[in-house]
Structure 1
Amino acid sequence: MAKVSTVKYPQWSKLPIGGVWKEGSSTQYETVKNPYNEEVLAEIKLANKSDIDEAYNKAKEAQAKWAKVSAYEKASLLEKVAELIEERRQEIVTMLVEESGSSIVKANVEVDASIGDTKEAAKYPFKMEGTIHSSLIPGKENRVYRNPIGVIGAITPWNWPFYLTIRVVAPAIATGNSIVLKADSQTPITGGLMIAKIFEDAGLPQGLINVIVADVSEIGDSMVDHPIPRVISFTGSTAAGKRIGAVAGQNLKKVALELGGNNVMIVLDDADVDQAVSAAAFGKFFHQGQICLSANRIMVDRKIYPAFVEKFKEVTSTIKVGNPAEDGNIIGPLINEKQVDRIVKFVEQSVSEGATVEIEGKVEGKLMSPFVLSNVTNDMAVAQNELFGPVAAIMPIDGEEEAIRIANASNFGLSGSVFSGSLERGIKVAHEIETGMIHVNDQTVNVEPNMPFGGEKLSGIGRYCGEEALEEFTTVKWMSVQNDPRQYPFS
């Protein structure tokens, strides 16, 4: 793409590679635009394979020194990062609104979650401890040490760019690693460049965070098959995750994959309908439904189905659509036209398959107002595919056994939700759903810094956040120490 002349944020034109902010070595440029009004935010000369090689080599050099820095210094730096995120909240929120189409509410939630994960990561340096164990052999002790894994390769998405990048960068740095990050080219500022600058301003040594913005057709698999990174972290589609997992597996690299979801929200016959409707609207339409955790299949018992659908329509009709920079607007633009076309096709196909249109949304460019479909069955397009848009698919069910069966018929298992007037009943059903995360009497979109985040089946491998993040970004070493001379059967 040719370089343009009018750019709103020219300061975000360079990439931090090896401790130096510079242009990429590709001949191509990426024009970063506001998805709502097409305003040009940044013009970035892309990186190529030579930049990736340099980034990984510089990251390896920097990591060897960082690993030896005290836990107190690492923790202090992470605390400083959290402070800077809060201090720069308005700047980050504005950029999230302009670059990713986030509403002001969603952008602030993203900043809050990022602060929470950074503060949680500040605890990790003190958990890089060794333990001493007994031995079967006289005069020996066994030691187990938790060590940094080295260099992390990370590929992050566009929908929650700041948070989903912080979720990888903060624990990686806290546990003594360095990182080479490929930010999504649609959101490279909030998804990488701003984060690198915040860590730099907090005092992080040069070379520990490197940001790549590149065209996949030019760099191929070089982010994954490069010999230096020992862990590849990826958040994105299942199709891309399968490819990354296969390439990493050929080189025996560890992967942490957070992939797609086809999340169920089950509303049982004894549920509080008003509360369930309110939760479902949030879980479906927050950030235009462009969340891997969104409620994709809303299953409602037939006994309360008519009341639920009518009340859901009432709530949906109050949701404001438009410029995400304006207070009160909940639904802003989808990230690109391709997403809009994809979603419209799923809706049209499902209607032809027998779904009833309760609310027919309007499409104006990348703005899509909510669609509500009822009488959806699990074999329809809107139930079989992760929508990633403001389309509510409401399915009637006959009891909890059918709900469990339909829920588990999916190859995905990221998040879920169960609403019931009986907590014990809700918990019982939740236990039966094959998913990495599930919430009783709450909607599907939840994240907490101290709780394990990840999916089952085609929704991914590994866990982010909480104690489980240590397992993803560290390795353990067994060292035995023979204190007394050992007697061998040979002389």
Structure 2
Amino acid sequence: MVGFENLNKSFINGEWTEGASERSYDILNPYDNTPITSVRLATSKQLKESFEVAKEAQKKWAKSSVEERREVLHKAAEYLKANREEIVNVIGRETGGTVLKANVELHLTLEFLEESIKYADEIYQVREVPGHVEGKLNHIHRLPLGVIASISPFNFPMNLSMRTIAPAIALGNSVVHKPDIQVGLSGGSIIAKAFEEAGLPKGVLNVLLTDIEEIGEEMLTNPHSKLISFTGSTQVGRRIGEIAGKQLKRVALELGGNSPFIVLSDADVDRAVDAAIFGKFIHQGQICMIINRIIVHKDKHDEFVDKFVEKAKALPYGDTSDPKTVIGPLVNDRQMEKALNFIEEAKREGATVALEGKREGNILTPFVFTNVNNSSKLAQSELFAPIATIIKAESDEEAIEIANDTQHGLSSAIFTNDLERGEKLALEVDAGMTHINDQTVNDAPYIPFGGNKASGLGRFGNPWVVEEFTVTKWVSVQTKYRSFAF
């Protein structure tokens, strides 16, 4: 047993470093609030030092061979596989995730890590393009970007951290990473340990266990970072975009969602219900891609509601260490209070309670609302809770209009028996991703993952992330004497 709970320090310049703050943070299991470990927080000074270290380390790492980078990535993956059981346990305890969720998260983490091995040779490749002047050779080079600032959230901390860290390292960059402190082990320390064991040179990956009270906006404003990679709320994303814009820094922002799940007039209701139950309630709804609005054609509405409610009320809830559990705890009291406020406001607004859930400790069992107005706060908010909203559409065309009536545009889904029409309608949904006859929570390391509108900027996935995390340079070589006009 590795004892990942003991990795409760920041990882700076290849060393496990005690935070210099006078403040500590207790990482708790959201299910029963039992302590997992306590962390002495890193300070702004330590963060600045990490950026300095990363800047110098990147200069050397940028000159590493493809073989060296691939070997490090491969060994990091092997470390995670060798410690799978303990890692799954930590993910479940830190995030309040079920056994299924924890296994899915580690699986995705490994997929992103192993995919990055495939494009470790993308830097320093040279492409020649035709010359516009006689005797001129035009060479297009792809180079590492530099230092990448990475900030990851609480819900799927390991894979949402790795999808930035692995590509950055594969492409010759260095990283300063800050996971959400609530999940500092699975979002940061375990990843740092994997790369330490893999032989990654000191300073290429630095992981800071800290919070905003200690570091302010240093992750955003530090002059050494060339790109800010952030997964989280749209509100914070707007602030990052504002700061990055002033400094002309690149951003990769995966922000909030309000994913519609559209059931058309010709859909198979039973299959749609099965998909919607999974896509709404996995990890208690605490996923950016989660189904947030279920939009059902009037001809299928009543049947869908009846079958959806029956399945939702039967979902097992409780201790997430029990493999049968589907509904576990919300991550903290603040998220619980937000969810309860959404519920009370929905009732005041006149939505119908088709399924009345309940609070048991940190667990909220499923709520289902019908007769929901798409302009209501319930429909327009990212709920991040096991609260389902069902909206009736008068026509298939209106269903698409309702789906697009939101500031967000991350994921979406359409259920229909006419696959050709379904794909045509998918192109009318203003979202980065649309899934036909599936639910909205899908991810893979080889697709262009990202959102439209207020759901973000940039795309993850191979090869799109390569463009995000590198810089393109034109070098021309004049092989023949060029005569000039003066």
| CA offsets 1:357-378 (integer angstroms, 9 cap, x no match) | 1111111221111011111120
Partner of 1:376: 372
C-alpha contact (below 8 Å) 2:120/2:170 kept by paired residues: yes
Q: Secondary structure at the match of 2:141?
A: strand
Q: Secondary structure at the match of 2:183?
A: coil
2:345 maps to which of 339, 349, 354: 349
Q: Secondary structure at the match of 1:421?
A: coil
Note the C-alpha offset of 1:446.
Answer: 0.2
Partner of 1:207: 203
2:275 maps to which of 253, 269, 279: 279
C-alpha contact (below 8 Å) 1:153/1:232 kept by paired residues: yes
Listed as ranges, the gaps of 5+ residues in structure 2 are none
What amino acid is aligned across from residue 331 of structure 2 in structure 1?
A: I
Counterpart-to-counterpart distance in 2, 1:459 and 1:155: 16
Counterpart-to-counterpart distance in 1, 2:239 and 2:148: 18
| CA offsets 1:276-323 (integer angstroms, 9 cap, x no match) | 000000000000000000000000111011110011011112211101
Partner of 1:259: 255
Number of corresponding residues: 483
| CA offsets 1:74-94 (integer angstroms, 9 cap, x no match) | 122212222222221111110
C-alpha contact (below 8 Å) 2:353/2:368 kept by paired residues: yes
1:144 maps to which of 116, 126, 140: 140
| CA offsets 1:151-195 (integer angstroms, 9 cap, x no match) | 000111000001100111000000000000011011000000100
Q: Is 1:124 matched up with 2:124?
A: no
Alignment of 1:26-425 (within 5 A): 26-128=21-123, 129-425=125-421
Counterpart-to-counterpart distance in 2, 1:317 and 1:349: 22
Counterpart-to-counterpart distance in 2, 1:113 and 1:13: 24
Counterpart-to-counterpart distance in 1, 2:244 and 2:397: 39
Counterpart-to-counterpart distance in 1, 2:5 and 2:379: 43
| CA offsets 1:76-118 (integer angstroms, 9 cap, x no match) | 2212222222221111110011100010001111111111111
| CA offsets 1:249-268 (integer angstroms, 9 cap, x no match) | 11111011000000000000
User: Which stretch of the first structure deviates more once superposed, 73-82 or 257-266?
Assistant: 73-82
Note the C-alpha offset of 1:28.
Answer: 1.0
What amino acid is aligned across from residue 318 of structure 2 in structure 1?
A: G
Counterpart-to-counterpart distance in 2, 1:49 and 1:264: 40
C-alpha contact (below 8 Å) 1:12/1:44 kept by paired residues: no
Q: Secondary structure at the match of 2:121?
A: helix
Partner of 1:451: 447
Counterpart-to-counterpart distance in 1, 2:4 and 2:242: 38
Counterpart-to-counterpart distance in 1, 2:153 and 2:144: 25
Counterpart-to-counterpart distance in 2, 1:265 and 1:139: 57
Q: Is 1:472 matched up with 2:468?
A: yes
| CA offsets 1:216-268 (integer angstroms, 9 cap, x no match) | 12311111101100100000000011111111111111011000000000000
C-alpha contact (below 8 Å) 1:15/1:24 kept by paired residues: yes
What amino acid is aligned across from residue 290 of structure 1 in structure 2?
A: Q
Distance 1:208 1:9, change over 3 A: closer
Distance 1:162 1:9, change over 3 A: closer
Counterpart-to-counterpart distance in 1, 2:314 and 2:212: 41
TM (norm. structure 2) is: 0.98
Counterpart-to-counterpart distance in 2, 1:203 and 1:438: 40
Note the aligned Cα RMSD (angstroms). Answer: 1.1
What amino acid is aligned across from residue 54 of structure 2 in structure 1?
A: A
C-alpha contact (below 8 Å) 2:14/2:196 kept by paired residues: no
Partner of 2:438: 442
Runs of 4+ in 1 over 4 A off after TM superposition: none
Counterpart-to-counterpart distance in 2, 1:187 and 1:36: 14
Counterpart-to-counterpart distance in 2, 1:29 and 1:354: 44
C-alpha contact (below 8 Å) 2:446/2:463 kept by paired residues: yes
User: Which stretch of the first structure deviates more once superposed, 90-99 or 119-128?
Assistant: 119-128
Note the C-alpha offset of 1:10.
Answer: 5.1
Listed as ranges, the gaps of 5+ residues in structure 1 are 1-7
Percent of pairs with identical residues: 46
Counterpart-to-counterpart distance in 1, 2:351 and 2:462: 41
C-alpha contact (below 8 Å) 2:269/2:304 kept by paired residues: yes
Alignment of 1:13-28 (within 5 A): 13-28=8-23
C-alpha contact (below 8 Å) 1:355/1:375 kept by paired residues: yes
Counterpart-to-counterpart distance in 2, 1:163 and 1:319: 26
Counterpart-to-counterpart distance in 2, 1:278 and 1:259: 27
Partner of 1:3: none
